[in-house]
Amino acid sequence: MHVLRDLGLGDLLVAVPALRLIGRALPDHRLVLHGPAWVHEVPGFPAGVPDDGAVPDVLVNLHGRGPQSHERLDALVPDDAPVRRIGHDAPGWPGPAWTDDPHRPERRRWCDLLAATGLVDPATAAAAADDLRLPPPAATDPGVTVVHPGAAFGAKRWPVERFAAVARALADAGHRVVVTGGADDAPVTAAVPGTDLAGRTGIAELCALVAHARLVVCGDTGISHVATAYGTPSVTLFGPVGPEQWGPPPGGPHVTLTDAALRRGDRFADDPDPALLAVSVDDVLGKIATLPRVAG
C-alpha cells in the first residue's frame, strides 16, 4: 500500500499511531510512504520509502483533505487498476468529511479516519492514538540538555533572550546545554549559551541526541515531537496553536506552557503570539524542577 504524508518532522511523527494501525490491519502489505526523502533517517519510523515501480492496491491519504493530495496518490495507479482508497471525502474518495477541532489531538484525526473508513474498529483507533513512542537509536552524546530556540514562523518563537536565560540557569545547575537548529537558525542559536549545533545535525543525529537527552526545552515545533517519540522529558511552549491539538499525550514526562486566554491564533504571524509571550523564564524553570530525572 502507498501512504501520503509529505510534511515536516512533527507532522510525520503525529501520524505514527495511524501508520502502525495500518501495518497491523494489513500485515501482508508493504507500507510505503510518499513523503520527504529524509524520512528513512528517523530511527524506528514505521514505513519505508518508494523503492520500485510496483502499482499499489491500497492508497491512504494522511496528508490532508485533497484535492491535490488525492491527485498525487491517484497518479500512482492506472485508471483501470483496482485500488482501495482511504482518505477524507472527495470525488472518488469515499470517507468522512474533514473537520477542524482545536480540542481534538491531531494524532486522533488520522486514527479516526481509519476507523471511519472501516480499516479498524473505533475502540482500536482510540486506544492506539496516544502510542507515539518509537524505539530509540543508539546513544551518541547521552545526557545533554537540548535547547531549541527556533521555529518556522514568528508566532511560535519565544524571545531568544528568554531561551538564553533558561540556558544559563540550566548550565549553572549543572546541565550540559546544547543548542540545536537548522543552518538558518544560526543567528538565533548563537545568542543562546551552550554548544551551538545549528546546521550540524542531520535528522538521524538529531533524533539520537534527543532520544538520550536529559531534557528538551523548545517551542511548538518538530523537536518537541521527537522528545515525545523517544520519551525524553520536555518543556514545550505553545503560542497560536494549543497543546490540546499538537501537544504530547497525557502521562509522559512532558510539560506544556501557554496562556490560552491570550491566544491570538494567527500561526503565520511575524511576531510571537501573546499566549506564548505570557510564559516567563521562571515559569519554564519552575516546570523543569518538576520533571523526573531532570532537577538537581
Question: Residue 36: its pLDDT value, please?
Answer: 87
The answer to whether the CB of 100 falls within 8 A of the CB of 122 is no
Q: Which long-range contacts (CB under 8 A, 24 or more apart) does 21-27 make?
A: 21/111, 21/114, 21/119, 21/120, 21/124, 21/125, 21/128, 22/60, 22/114, 22/119, 23/47, 24/120, 25/114, 25/119, 25/120, 26/1, 26/58, 26/119
For domain 145-288, say whether CATH 3.90.550.10 is its number: no
Question: Residue 251: its pLDDT value, please?
Answer: 85
**Nearest partner of 244 among 128, 112, 106, 100, judged by Cα:** 106
Q: How far apart are CA 225 and CA 248, in angstroms?
A: 7
For domain 2-128, say whether CATH 1.10.645.10 is its number: no
**Sequence-ordered alpha helix ranges (H) in 173-277:** 186-189, 203-211, 222-229, 243-246, 274-277
Question: Residue 52: its pLDDT value, please?
Answer: 66
Question: Residue 295: its pLDDT value, please?
Answer: 59
Q: Which long-range contacts (CB under 8 A, 24 or more apart) does 230-233 make?
A: 230/133, 230/134, 230/136, 231/133, 231/136, 233/291, 233/292, 233/293, 233/294
Domain with CATH 3.40.50.2000 in the chain: 2-128, 145-288
One pLDDT digit (tens) per residue for the chain, 296 residues:
788 887 899 999 999 999 999 999 999 998 889 888 888 899 999 988 776 677 899 999 999 888 899 999 999 998 888 899 999 999 999 999 999 899 999 999 999 999 999 999 999 999 999 999 999 999 989 999 999 999 999 999 999 999 999 999 999 999 999 999 999 999 999 999 999 999 999 999 999 999 999 999 999 999 999 999 999 999 999 999 999 999 999 888 999 999 999 999 999 999 999 999 999 999 999 999 999 777 55
**Nearest partner of 270 among 152, 148, 147, judged by Cα:** 152
